[in-house]
């Protein structure tokens, strides 16, 4: 293996060429012969008893083939229950593809119409008459805790799904002994992922073979296959999941959705291929939501800026069901674990509770709890700086772990192998020209221009080990795989369990394989996203693609290289250890003469085996798996700075520029890393300034459309400058950590801090995300 | 979602449209640019029995100056207004406002007539029509009438247009050497519908406003011409005190109501803020 | 209304005449994707907001989800497939690749067609004006920076030429 990696800085992402030509193939682009379309009838109520469903008028519509209710699907698709047993007691309830007795959120599918076109299916869906008896809805998490609150699941006897307490001891004493104690409450509203491509499924059941093929907009085909087979009563080998090009995932496409699995069950029931594509209005009430936290927190700090103790209490909402199979507890769990993670402190106490409510289920969306954790931590650290009169960069330097301190065990028990928080912050401050920004800010204040600088220094958990999910009994694979095959022409076919929703994982593994074997990248073809043709792998989530699948590819390519050289050695009767491969040709290292080529090896192995030594039957196919087991997560870090301006008359925040320095270990393709950073920063800007799922007191989502649910657009986004520190993890040969989430984790806290910095002359602060103009004007007392 | 079923007629003449409107086969909608209508169809918020597509009616298109007024055909697209030198010269407020209407792709299709027919309270163009004292030419089978924009907007999505009416054109008085105008709106993202807006068209002669037409939009069911505010500013020396009197008068002139996007208090605050800013901008 | 009203449509798509019968309610986006088979035009919202369905209608960008197929009768439509095959935006496409300005690719065709109109508009190629022109096109993946870089590069080359 060449070391360091020969990284071609100009290497474009080969697979992106199809996208710029409009040749991506997404789910809705696929049409199967004889395919029908399914449209779901969704509950208009947040909580109601289904007293009856009259499908007769819908069945009469021309072009309608079936109208299907929960009773029809029950024999085909078993209910599922999300549960992890490794995180304390979890009270959980079964969920059905289509409910039979009660609906538990506005937007829950209750019946399905199958018709010749989506339009006709929608016509008929309007005629399905569901007799609902409305029940009181649980909406606000705090109200859910009240003794007289209605119960989302009466059988559970409580609305509390799960809670956790962490206490390292002596927190009260440490707070009492601190020079300054600051208490703050933060709230982070619900948001949703809004992948530009909506979710969907095309299911095609072949009753003759008992074989179910599902095209699915999923990040995790192998995991989905296991679950679909189990719920639908099929052998896993008789289920094929194909994930075509996916128009954005961000965690949203990890989960089991009742409408998608219902589509598969419907195909089995009616023995026809059926397509379901969510339309945008459905997406808002059926895609997982995320966030929705209220955190009260206290920090004790001494006058020298050293943090003495930290305490957080998080209350989060789950929706009506823990999302399958990962559950909805990981967000509050990570709030509890990750809030103190960046900082060296001795006393920490955390409580987190997750409660049921009649809203869309919450689940893993980019950042998973960590953006909330860092918002709280960074907000408290800035408040501590204000209270002690320290500079906001300086107080961080005094509390971050020293870069030579690693490995350390963080206060919540996390093993931090190797981070570069201090170096990243130093680099960031230089990049920003921090001192000049401070001068500009101070000068502007006299002229009524209120600029703010916001900083955040965060730790991102990436590439989880099986201890997070599988140890709790969930069918979630933390390993990934790579199968390499040398083709007769001398090029390489790769099949991996990894999937690509735009991150460029395909380009990364191509590059790793090319570099390790010594073959041009355009001689490698990658197959992914198809359970029939790829080895079992966990897929794409938790910033694991490069770190996990990249390592599997490295291992497979290393072995493939050895095998190729073994064949070359046998053919040419030279010792394998003096041979090497460069750009697809095999050289003798001692003479520097060309000995053979991959083309010759491929041809010999696949056709001309008569020329090989007797009893030498080479296998030029390699499969290697890799699972990260040493650390709960491989931690990366990021320092991020924001320069912004608050219009104190309108409350509008203008972002002038953002800078980020991240450390995701070994970088394989810098352009991909930078765009992961920028993309996740802009999603975080969405969280910070725009996105919120606004519900009324009856559990109706009021802004579930593209007009009113605001996403970040080009016009308001700033330029984002990125740089890196590379501290490779020693857990793998590749040394890569994840990089897809640091931006969204860091930017929310940085923007809040920047706004509060701008508002400092007024002595007011905001701490309720999103930081809307109205909230800012209220903080300023301009409106009451 | 897909629209519910409807019949579609591609109209060949204005008379054909008027005939169809006179004896409607159920609920009929006129399809012009479709940039507001089609989303409501796609979401099944509106389910007409028939759409009459008027896009082929070239007689409804075009910008010209005639008899001391600027005439804009109802089917004139936003992008044509945006690029028109006639509009820039004779109704500069429109040029200022139009670039805030949605995005380029929408402006290429959306029409002034469609916009003013729908009369979305958050839309920029209805407010401009009121501020500019535009006249709207409306035709039905019985004849043609001209309605002042100031009388045209009745209530939320309710205008002088009746079910058998077709908007033909909108005309504007020509701006003169002393005409000044200003545009303000609150949007969180460029191109969004306004949450509070103010357009002003005024005459400024030797440092005195001889006329001042402030129209607030996205604060009530229709655009509102603030007559009391105008009265305070016209033929007066503008002092800080006068400005504050004018700001205080907004409350009296405009019955501001909050909506799902913004509270009443914030709308009131912004209305005052924009008025202050605009007076400062125009008065210098 | 029991029967589906249908309408004959004769439209030039990427320079070739297409004659088809479609339901009156069919959007131009669905017509292009499912009747003509040009799936490079994407449907992200059907509400006219996201811009993924942007095509050219008589040479100017339009939302194909907010246009009925029937309205395209007698007109000329260009899609990403057409402007790719003609080579018209080849430099822009290469710039998108160089700058890694496409991630999941779902917004990319609409983004490119919008960018091409910007480049043809004669607007000054400041980053700010590029950002403003792209405001009607959502990208949920990239953060927009690389897209602006790619367009700015081509705009700069055009200005120099």
Final residue belonging to a domain, choices A612, A627, A642:
A627
If asked whether residues B93 and B197 sit together in one domain, one would say: no
Give the closest residue to C75 by CA, choosing from B60, A409, A318, B55: B55
- How far is the alpha carbon of A64 from chain B, nearest alpha carbon, in Å? 15
Q: Please tell me whether residue A640 adopts helix, strand or coil conformation.
A: strand
The pLDDT of residue A6 is 53
Whether B244 and B183 share a structural domain: yes
Domain residues for the domain of B45 are 7-53
Residues A417 and A542 in one domain: no
Q: pLDDT tens per residue, chain B (284 residues)?
A: 999 999 999 999 999 999 999 988 899 999 999 999 999 999 999 999 999 999 999 999 999 999 999 999 999 999 999 999 999 999 999 999 999 999 999 999 999 999 999 999 999 999 999 999 999 999 999 999 999 999 999 999 999 999 999 999 999 999 999 999 999 999 999 999 999 999 999 999 999 999 999 999 999 999 999 999 999 999 999 999 999 999 999 999 999 999 988 999 999 999 999 999 999 999 87
B30 forms beta bridges with: B52
pLDDT in tens, A322-369: 999 999 999 999 999 999 999 999 999 999 999 999 999 999 999 999
Interface test with B, best of A653, A777, A781, A784 (most B CBs within 10 A): A777
φ, ψ dihedrals at A163, nearest 5°: -150, 160
List the end-to-end C-alpha distance of chain B, in Å, as a whole number: 51
**CB of B44 less than 8 A from some CB of C:** no
Chain B interface includes A11 (CB < 8 A): no
> A23 and C23: CB-CB below 8 Å?
no
* Structural domain that includes position A575: 16-23+479-627
Chain A touched by C42 (CB under 8 Å): yes
pLDDT at A1 over 50: no
Q: In whole angstroms, what is the distance from residue A373 CA to residue A186 CA?
A: 10
Nearest to A393 by CA among A28, A615, A606, A641: A641
Confidence (pLDDT) at A290: 98
By Cβ distance, the residue of A123, A710, A716 closest to B5 is: A123
pLDDT in tens, A522-535: 999 999 999 999 99
- Cβ within 8 Å of residue A651, ≥6 positions away: A772, A773, A774, A775, A776, A777, A780, A782, B266
> Distance (Å) from the C-alpha of residue C161 to the closest C-alpha of chain A?
24
Domains of chain C, residue spans? 6-83, 89-160
**Domain total of chain B:** 3
pLDDT at A24: 97
Is residue A315 scored above 80 in pLDDT? yes
The answer to whether residues A274 and A332 belong to one domain is no
Is the per-residue pLDDT at A9 higher than 70? no
Supply the ipTM of this predicted assembly.
Answer: 0.98
Query: Which residues 675-704 of chain A have a CB within 8 Å of chain B?
Result: 689-690, 694, 702-703
Q: Residue C160: which pLDDT band, with cuts at 50, 70 and 90?
A: confident
> Which residues neighbour C33 within 8 Å (Cβ) at sequence distance 6 or greater?
A28, A29, C39, C41, C43
Shared domain check, B166 and B141: yes
Q: CA–CA separation, A556 vs A307, rounded Å?
A: 46
Let me know how long chain C is.
Answer: 161
Query: What pLDDT, on the 0 to 100 scale, is given for residue C125?
Result: 84
| Four-way CATH pick for C89-160: 1.10.150.120, 1.10.10.1150, 3.20.20.70, 3.40.50.200 | 1.10.150.120
Q: Which of B185, B269, B280 to mutate to test the interface with A (most CBs of A within 10 A)?
A: B269
List the beta bridge partners of residue B88. none
Give me the pLDDT at residue A289, please: 98
Q: Are residues A516 and A411 in the same domain?
A: no
Task: Give the H/E segment covering residue A318.
Answer: strand A307-319
Q: Are residues A644 and A723 in the same domain?
A: yes
Task: Indicate whether B161 and B201 sit together in one domain.
Answer: no
Res A3: pLDDT: 45
* DSSP 8-state symbol, A145: T
pLDDT in tens, A664-704: 999 999 999 999 999 999 999 999 999 999 999 999 999 99
Do residues B146 and B185 share a domain? no
Say whether residue B52 is in contact with chain C using an 8 A CB cutoff. Answer: no
Q: What is the pLDDT of residue A606?
A: 96
Q: What is the CATH number of the domain that holds B229?
A: 3.30.390.50
- Protein fold of C6-83: Ubiquitin-like (UB roll) (3.10.20)
Q: What is the pLDDT of residue B24?
A: 83
Which residues, 6+ apart, have CB-to-CB distance to B39 below 8 Å? A707, C46, C47, C48, C66
Q: What would the pLDDT profile of A108-145 be if each residue is shown by its tens digit?
A: 999 999 999 999 999 999 999 999 999 999 999 999 99
Q: What pLDDT score was predicted for residue B260?
A: 85
Do A296 and A273 share a domain, yes or no? no
Report the pLDDT value the prediction gives residue A13, as an integer from 0 to 100.
83
Residues of C in contact with B42 (CB under 8 A): 27, 46-47, 65-66
B202 and B158, same domain (yes or no): no
- Both tokens of A705, joined, read 């459309």
Q: How far off is chain C from B68, nearest CA to CA, in Å?
A: 32
The count of structural domains within chain A is 3
- Whether residue B48 lies inside any domain: the answer is yes
Kindly provide the b/e burial profile for residues B258-280, where b requires at least 16 CB atoms within 10 angstroms of the residue's own CB.
eeebbbebbbbbbbbbbbbebbe
Q: Is residue A167 part of a domain?
A: no
In a domain, A264, yes or no: yes
Residue A153 domain-assigned (yes or no)? no
Contacts of A436 (CB under 8 A, 6+ apart): none
Please, are residues A251 and A193 in contact by the beta-carbon 8 Å criterion?
A: yes
pLDDT in tens, A749-767: 999 999 999 999 999 999 9
């Amino acid at each position: 293996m060449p070391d360091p990696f020969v990284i071609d800085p100009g290497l474009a992402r080969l697979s992106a060429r199809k996208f710029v030509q409009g040749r991506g193939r997404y789910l809705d682009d696929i049409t199967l012969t004889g395919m029908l379309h399914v449209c779901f009838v969704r509950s208009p109520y947040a909580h109601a008893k289904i007293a009856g469903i009259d499908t007769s008028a819908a069945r009469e519509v021309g072009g309608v083939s079936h109208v299907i209710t929960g009773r029809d699907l029950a024999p085909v698709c078993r209910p599922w229950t999300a549960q992890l047993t490794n995180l304390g007691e979890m009270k959980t309830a079964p969920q059905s593809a289509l409910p039979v007795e009660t609906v538990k959120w506005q937007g829950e599918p209750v019946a399905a119409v199958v018709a010749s076109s989506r339009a006709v299916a929608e016509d008929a869906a309007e005629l399905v008459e569901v007799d609902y008896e409305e029940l009181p809805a649980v909406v606000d998490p705090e109200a859910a805790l009240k003794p007289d609150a209605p119960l989302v699941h009466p059988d559970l006897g409580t609305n509390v799904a799960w809670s956790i307490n962490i206490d390292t001891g002596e927190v009260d004493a440490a707070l009492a002994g601190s020079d300054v104690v600051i208490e703050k409450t933060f709230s982070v509203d619900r948001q949703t992922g809004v992948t530009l491509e909506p979710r969907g499924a095309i299911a095609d059941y072949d009753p003759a073979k008992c074989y179910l093929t599902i095209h699915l907009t999923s990040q995790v085909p192998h995991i989905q296959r296991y679950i679909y087979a189990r719920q639908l009563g099929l052998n896993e080998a008789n289920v094929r999941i194909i994930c075509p090009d996916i128009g954005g995932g961000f965690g949203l496409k990890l989960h089991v959705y009742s409408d998608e699995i219902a589509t598969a069950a419907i195909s089995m029931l009616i023995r026809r291929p059926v397509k379901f594509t969510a339309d945008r209005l459905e997406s808002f009430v059926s895609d997982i939501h995320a966030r929705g936290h209220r955190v009260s927190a206290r920090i004790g700090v001494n006058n020298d800026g050293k943090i003495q103790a930290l305490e957080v209490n998080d209350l989060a909402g789950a929706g009506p069901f823990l999302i399958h199979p990962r559950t909805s507890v990981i967000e509050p769990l990570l709030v509890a674990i990750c809030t103190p993670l960046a900082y060296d402190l001795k006393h920490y106490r955390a409580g987190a509770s997750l409660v049921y409510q009649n809203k869309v289920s919450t689940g893993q969306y980019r950042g998973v709890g960590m953006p909330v954790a860092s918002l709280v931590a960074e907000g408290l650290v800035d408040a501590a700086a204000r209270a002690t009169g320290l500079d906001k960069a300086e107080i961080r330097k005094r509390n971050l772990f020293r870069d030579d301190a690693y490995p350390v065990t963080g206060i919540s028990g996390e093993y931090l192998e190797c981070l570069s928080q201090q170096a990243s912050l130093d680099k960031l401050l230089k990049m920003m020209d921090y001192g000049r920004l401070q001068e500009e800010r101070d000068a502007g204040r006299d002229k009524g221009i209120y600029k703010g600088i916001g900083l955040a220094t965060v730790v991102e958990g990436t590439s989880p080990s099986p201890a997070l999910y599988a140890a709790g009994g969930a069918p979630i694979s933390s390993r990934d795989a790579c199968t390499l095959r040398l083709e007769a022409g001398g090029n390489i076919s790769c099949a991996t369990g990894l999937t690509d929703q735009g991150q460029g994982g395909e380009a990364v593994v191509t590059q790793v394989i090319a570099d390790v074997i010594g073959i041009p990248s355009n001689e490698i073809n990658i197959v992914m996203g198809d359970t029939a043709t790829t080895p079992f792998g966990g897929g794409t989530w938790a910033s694991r693609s490069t770190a996990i699948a990249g390592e599997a590819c490295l291992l497979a390519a290393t072995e493939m290289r050895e095998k190729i050289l073994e064949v070359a050695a046998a053919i040419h009767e030279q010792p394998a250890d003096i041979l090497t491969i460069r750009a697809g040709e095999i050289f003798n290292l001692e003479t520097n003469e060309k000995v053979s080529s991959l083309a010759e090896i491929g041809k010999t192995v696949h056709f001309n085996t008569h020329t090989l030594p007797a009893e030498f039957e080479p296998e030029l196919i390699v499969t290697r798996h890799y699972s990260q087991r040493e650390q709960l997560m491989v931690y990366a870090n990021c320092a991020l700075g924001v320069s912004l301006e608050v219009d104190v008359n309108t409350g509008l925040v203008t972002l002038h520029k953002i800078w980020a320095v991240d450390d995701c270990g070994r970088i394989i393709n810098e352009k991909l890393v930078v765009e992961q950073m920028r993309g996740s920063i802009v999603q975080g800007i969405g969280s910070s300034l725009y996105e919120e799922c606004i519900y009324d007191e009856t559990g109706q989502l009021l802004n579930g459309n593209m007009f009113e649910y605001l996403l970040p657009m080009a016009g308001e986004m700033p330029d984002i400058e990125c740089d890196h520190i590379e501290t490779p993890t020693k857990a793998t040969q590749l040394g890569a950590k994840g990089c897809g989430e640091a931006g969204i984790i860091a930017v929310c806290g940085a923007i809040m801090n920047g706004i509060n910095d701008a508002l400092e002359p007024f002595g007011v602060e905001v701490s309720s995300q999103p930081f809307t103009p109205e909230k800012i004007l209220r903080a300023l007392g301009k409106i009451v | 979602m897909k629209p519910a079923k409807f019949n579609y007629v591609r109209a060949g003449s204005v008379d054909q449209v008027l005939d169809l409107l006179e004896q409607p086969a159920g609920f009929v909608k006129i399809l012009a640019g479709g940039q507001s209508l089609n989303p409501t169809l796609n979401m099944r918020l509106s389910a007409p029995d028939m759409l009459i597509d008027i896009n082929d009616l070239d007689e409804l298109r075009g910008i010209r100056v005639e008899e001391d007024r600027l005439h804009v055909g109802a089917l004139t697209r936003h992008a044509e207004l945006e690029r028109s030198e006639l509009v820039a010269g004779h109704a500069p407020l429109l040029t200022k406002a139009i670039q805030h209407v949605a995005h380029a792709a929408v402006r290429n299709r959306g029409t002034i007539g469609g916009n003013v027919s729908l009369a979305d309270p958050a839309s920029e163009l209805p407010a401009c029509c009121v501020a500019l004292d535009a006249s709207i030419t409306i035709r039905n089978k019985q004849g043609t009438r001209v309605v002042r924009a100031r009388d045209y907007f009745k209530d939320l999505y309710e205008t002088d247009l009746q079910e058998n009416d077709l908007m033909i054109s909108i005309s504007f008085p020509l701006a003169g050497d002393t005409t000044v105008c200003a545009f303000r709106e609150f949007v969180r993202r460029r191109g969004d519908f306004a949450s509070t807006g103010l357009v002003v068209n005024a005459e400024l002669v030797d440092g005195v406003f001889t006329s001042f037409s402030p129209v607030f939009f996205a604060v009530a069911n229709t655009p509102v011409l603030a007559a009391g505010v105008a009265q305070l500013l016209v033929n007066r020396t503008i002092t800080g005190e006068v400005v504050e009197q004018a700001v205080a008068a907004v409350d009296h002139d405009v019955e501001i109501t909050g909506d799902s996007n913004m509270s009443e208090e914030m709308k009131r605050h912004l209305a005052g803020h924009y008025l202050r800013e605009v007076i400062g901008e125009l008065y210098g | 209304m029991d029967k589906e009203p249908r309408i004959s449509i004769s439209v030039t798509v990427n320079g070739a005449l297409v004659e088809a019968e479609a339901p009156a309610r069919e959007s131009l986006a669905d017509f292009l994707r499912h009747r003509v088979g040009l799936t490079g035009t994407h449907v992200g919202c059907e509400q006219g907001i996201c811009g993924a369905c942007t095509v050219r209608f008589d040479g100017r960008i339009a939302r194909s989800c907010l246009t009925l197929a029937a309205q395209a009768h007698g007109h000329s439509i260009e899609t990403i497939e057409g402007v790719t095959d003609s080579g018209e935006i080849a430099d822009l496409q290469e710039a998108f690749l160089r700058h890694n300005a496409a991630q999941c690719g779902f917004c990319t065709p609409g983004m490119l067609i919008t960018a091409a109109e910007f480049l043809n508009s004669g607007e000054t190629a400041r980053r700010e004006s590029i950002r403003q022109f792209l405001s009607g096109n959502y990208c949920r993946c990239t953060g927009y920076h690389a897209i602006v870089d790619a367009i700015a590069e081509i705009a700069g080359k055009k200005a120099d030429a």
